[in-house]
Amino acid sequence: MYGLSRRKRWPVRRRFLLPVPREVDMLKIHYSLDSELHNEILEIPAPAELNIQVRNLVLRTKKGALINKGDILAEAPSPFGGAYHASACGKVMKVNYHHMTIKCSDSETSVEPLDVQSMGTGKELLRTLQGLGVHVAPLSGRADVLIINGMNPEPGISAAQQILKDGGEYLKAGLELARKLITPGRTVLAVAKGDKSAIPGAETVGVKAKYPSSLDALVVRAVTGKEFPSDTKVISVMDLYDLGRVAVSGQPITDTIMTIAGRNYRVPLGTPIKHLLQTLDLPVASTDIVVLGGPFQGESVYSLDEGVKKTDYGLFIIPASQFPAVQDAPCINCGECVLQCPARVQPHLISRYAEYERFEQAEKHGLNSCFECGLCSFNCFSRRPLLQYIRFAKAQLQASGHGEQA
């Protein structure tokens, strides 16, 4: 390597092409998952129109159709993914590969509820839950240990903490249904150390409240002391809450809980971001970056017309001057992404294979072992979109039938 064999090799952290100020080299960032709750869950009013992301989904309606709240709009092609439902009544105005637009009406007609709690265990119950919008992968098959991940998913998001505080009835019903399907010998609620939250029927274990400790794989290791134990299943407290609401009401999932400007709101699925900003009087400059999700795993939006999805638990407005812009710059082989990676893969290598559409090579080098935590992109000195490349490769492999199914 250009004569490095004759010279002392510096540790990976010191391999920079440009001088790095000592203040940056010594910077210690603490990714705290602790949040302060200000109130109960607040309601966001229904918007004038819904924008539903339908890319890679199987459509179950068409342009011009009149729909009621709770009607199925699309289904996931994977064997475990939940269906997508209308969060309001209205008329389908536009459908393309990416989005479906629904003009909302004043009607409040909803689909008839199903008696989920009286159903026996087995495929019928799983298919019913899937048809009501529940992702059933964690509920399929038996396990000795069931772990409820009660950690806030990312810094700045307090949805999990809020649900543990306010979702008692639904969490209890969700756990009863989950235990009915999984029949675990041990049920554990993982929460941040010092958190006194509890769910009847589950023992409580404290986990260090520092990202990425909230990732499912790391929560499992913290609770069991093992990596990827075959006898363990994990479900997030947000999914358990949704499962309980489905069990109690018999109605499909049509909203999500989001942390916005430090408070938690119940947001109808498909609500355009601009409706949230206008309702909450949040100003956005043309140069700001708006992120759906969290600061590490979230995605910046290209339009304020984009609608909220099931797995969006936060909305952040990032001033343009706060972080250097992400760019398709060359990798400088500093190794920082490898040092930060909790999955112990090589993001710099995988992302380069993805960049040049060599997806099979990316898969061979640990693509599917990636947790998509976003630490690689966040810490990249070149500001490369590493997480986006990794997600792109996974999506392309899945679309071609070669990737792992969710």
| pLDDT for residue 55 is more than 60 | yes
- Region 166-182 average pLDDT: 96
| pLDDT for residue 15 is more than 80 | no
- Token couple for 62: 């068409």
CB 392 within 8 A of CB 377: no
Residue 402: its pLDDT value, please? 67
Cα of first residue to Cα of last residue in the chain, in angstroms, is: 41
Please provide residue 279's backbone torsions phi and psi, each rounded to the nearest 5 degrees.
Answer: -65, -40
| pLDDT for residue 263 is more than 70 | yes
- Region 112-125 average pLDDT: 90
CB 179 within 8 A of CB 202: no
| pLDDT for residue 338 is more than 50 | yes
- Residue 297 CA to residue 306 CA, distance in Å, equals 17
| pLDDT for residue 197 is more than 90 | yes
Best CA proximity match to 312, nearest among 262, 273, 274: 273
Residue 323: its pLDDT value, please? 78
Distances in Å between the Cα of 152 and the Cα atoms of 173, 239, 241, 337 are 21, 13, 14, 23
- Token couple for 169: 């009835």
- Region 156-171 average pLDDT: 95
Distances in Å between the Cα of 290 and the Cα atoms of 83, 96, 197, 259, 310 are 27, 24, 32, 14, 18
DSSP-H helix ranges across 155-259: 159-166, 168-182, 216-224, 237-249
In tens, the pLDDT along 83-92 reads: 999 999 999 9
Provide the pLDDT confidence category of residue 398 given band limits of 50, 70 and 90.
confident
- Least confident interval from 125-129, 214-218, 219-223, 401-405: 401-405
| pLDDT for residue 24 is more than 70 | no
- Token couple for 387: 């997480």
- Residue 365 CA to residue 333 CA, distance in Å, equals 16
What pTM did the predictor assign? Answer: 0.89
